[in-house]
Each structure stands twice: as C-alpha cells, then as structure tokens.
Amino acid sequence: MIQRQPLPKLSPIPIKDRASLAFVERGLIDVLDGTFVVVDEKGIRTHIPVGGICCIMLEPGSRISHAAVALAARVGTLLLWVGEAGVRLYGAGQPGGARSDRLLYQASLALENDARLKVARKMYELRFGRPCNPNHSIEQLRGIEGARVKTLYQQLAKRYGVRWDGRRYDPRNASAADETNRCLSSATACLYGVCEAAVLAAGYSPAIGFVHTGKPRSFVFDIADIFKFESVVPVAFQIAAKRPQDPEGDVRRACRDAFRQTKLLKKVIPAIEEILAAGGSPCLRPPKTHWNPPSWRTRELATLVIVAENIPDRLRGRLAVWLLEIRTGVYVGDFSRRIREFIWENVSSGLGGGNVVMVWSAPTESGFEFLSLGTNRREPVDCCGLLLSRYTPKEPSTAETDDPR
C-alpha cells in the first residue's frame, strides 16, 4: 500500500518569477477539479495558472467565486476589479503579503518631514537619471518633472508620427478620448497593476505615497512613474501609430512583451527597497529583507515541461496553480531554478502511485536536462556529457511485446 504524504504548504513564488498580467472580460472564474479556470456561457473552461501571474484584472462581465478569490490570495496573486480597458479601478484584493514591520517603516518615513523629503528626492533622481539640486523644493521638482514629461510626450509623438494635443482623458468615459490617449490609459493601467502587485508582495501599503498623496494607490503611482517612460509609454505611442482595430488589446500584448524585455518584474521590488532606504535616519531602521539576494539575480528563467501519468487529483490541481496544462497530464511554464526545485518538491510529495518526468532548457550539450520519478522503464543517463534516455525492456515472462520507440 502506497503511503500518502501531504503536499507542501501552498505559498507564493517571487514576483520576478511570474508572468505579468492576465485580463478576464467575460465569464465565471472558479476553481474546478483544483484548477483556476474561466468558464464561458457555453461551459468551456480556460485554465489560468494563477500562481504564476502577478495580477489578474477583472473587467465588466466577469464574476468570481469565493474559492477562486481564496486560491488567488493563498498564492499571492493580486485581483483588480477594473472598468473598461482597465482604466478605472473599483476594488482590489489583498494577496496577503503585508507585514507590520514594513508598514510601520513606510508610515514612519512618510510622517517624518526630513525622511519624506529624502525619499521623494530619490524618486525624482531615478526619474531624471541624475542627482537633484539640493536647493530645489518638492514643488519645484514637481514643476521640473511636469515640463520633462510634457517634452517626452511631444518627442514620442513626433517620432511615431502621431498627433498629440496633450494628455486628456475622462476615466468615467474612456472611449471619448482620442486613440493615443486611450492607448496611454491602457498601457499605464497595465503598469499600475504590476506595480501594485509588487508593492503588496513586498509588504508595503499602496496608499502611503511620498510624491503622490491622498489616494488609495499613491505609492503605486510613485513607483510606476519611475518606470513609465522606459516601458509602457513608448509602447502606447507605437501602437497608436499603427491605428489598430483593437488598440487596447494590442497595447496589453505589447506591454507584456515590454515587461519581459526590460525585466521589469526583477527591478520593481529592489527599486522600492532602494527608494525607502534613502529616507533612513538613526531612528528609522529598514526592516530585514530577503528579496533578490545576489545568488538569485543571475538565475535566468528556463522553459519547463512536466509530463505526468496516473497522479492523484490533488497533485494535478497543485501543478495547475503554476503551470499551464496544454494536454492531459502535460504542463508547461517558464521558471527559475529555485521555483523548478520548489515545484519538484511538490511532485515528490504528492506523486502517489503515478510517474512524472520534468524537462527544462539548460546550457548543456543536449540543450536540456530532465528528471523522472515513479515506476517507468525510461530513465535519464549521462553519456560523456550527452543526456540520453535508457529503456528497460519488460520481464521475459511478459507475453506482450513493446516497441521501445
């Protein structure tokens, strides 16, 4: 009799190892057979690997069950209820990353005038790409930033041949804006979602800002403004110049590509820590952090494939949290070594009487590596640095023959 072992506790994986965004426009979001899915009006299910995504934006026409909200919270995925094209925010979930020491540290910096000024100056330094004049007040820095942003918009409009009459849009009627402004609104909404997920994952409050104040997402806007012109704003102008039939959809897809190309998800949390550390004083000590130690920074993502046979339903549901099931028992994803080992730990604990093979891309002679677990006649073998598969034939007493191919 096979002894059943408990699966490891379900916990969030780092933001830097996730995909950025997913949008759900119509359908019921639920957990069926342990899998986070969107069910349309015809009963067709679309699987979303919820634990491998930073933020899921729920647009008009979407509904979500209690089980789906609970699973998203356990794996640290932010849920945002937004208006059409993601322009207006109606509500946000709490993925459970808040820590009292970090919240108190952030609030202390915001309440002490000198510390607040230092943090704000650091934000402007990162935006300008150079040190700020120590004689400039925050109001003067805001004026300089406003003029810089206006100039950048004009330069991008000229580069892409887009008409530009200024940043104008009404969040209550997003469709009334011109195409360029609609593209910009969709692009910044994507960036705000990713930044809010990072702020919450790092344990801080989205509401306690330093340059922006008085809004539920003030700190999110502070952080997003640092990365806006190196990531999503050029994308918005580029898409607007093409005059697509679905500008918002094209912007979202292009933003995902931009986030991956600029490695934004690896930058946001270290930037938050760096910014807040600038406001430090003898009476304000930053909390200990475990984000991005040096050994993690050099780890690149690798394509990962898992093929599973006869595994328990609970393990199928667990794998579907992080990986996309493209065929029955075939799961794919893109993760670092640390997360790959974490997933393999779950496989080892919940395998039962099944068998699993995990393959991932690697800088080897074969271009990949793989592990197997459970009863199977194929196993990996190293042949002078070349990874091969060894096949064990059936016992002689077996009447049936089997083609080793």
Q: Could you tell me if residue 346 is inside a domain?
A: yes
CA-closest candidate to residue 91, choices 211, 193, 232, 214: 193
Q: Of 4, 7, 5, nearest to 343 (Cα)?
A: 7
**Backbone dihedral angles phi then psi of residue 138, each to the nearest 5 degrees:** -65, -35
Same domain, 287 and 274: yes
225 appears as a binding residue in the annotation? yes
What is the domain range of residue 195? Answer: 1-297
pLDDT of residue 297: 36
**What is the domain count for the chain?**
2
Quick one: 55 and 183 in the same domain? Answer: yes
Encoding tokens for residue 13?
A: 């994986």
| Residue 33 labeled ligand binder | no
Asked if residue 264 and residue 386 are part of one domain, the reply reads no
Residue 35 forms part of a structural domain: yes
Place of tokens 């006869």: 310
pLDDT of residue 381: 75
63 and 198 housed in the same domain: yes
The model's pTM? 0.76
- Residue 402 placed within a domain: no
Answer yes or no: is 325 a known binding residue.
no
- DSSP code at position 50: G
Domain harbouring 345, CATH code: 3.30.70.240
Last residue of one domain, picked from the residues 297, 324, 353:
297
pLDDT tens for each residue of 50-89: 999 988 989 889 999 999 999 999 998 989 898 776 667 7
The model's pLDDT over 34-61, given as tens digits with 9 standing for 90+, comes to: 899 999 888 899 999 999 998 898 988 9
Using 50 as the pLDDT threshold, list the residues of the chain that sit under it.
1, 282-283, 290-299, 399
Give CA–CA dist 14/202, Å, rounded: 10
Check residue 166 and give its pLDDT: 87
In a domain, residue 401? The reply is: no
Tens-digit pLDDT profile for residues 259-297? 888 888 888 989 999 999 998 754 455 566 544 433 333
The per-residue pLDDT for 174 is 63
* pLDDT value of position 200: 87
Residues 289 and 309 both lie in one domain: no
Domain boundary (247, 279, 297) is at 297
> Which of 255, 281, 297 represents a domain boundary (last residue)?
297
| 64 within a domain of the structure (yes/no) | yes
Q: Which two tokens stand for residue 240?
A: 């607007």
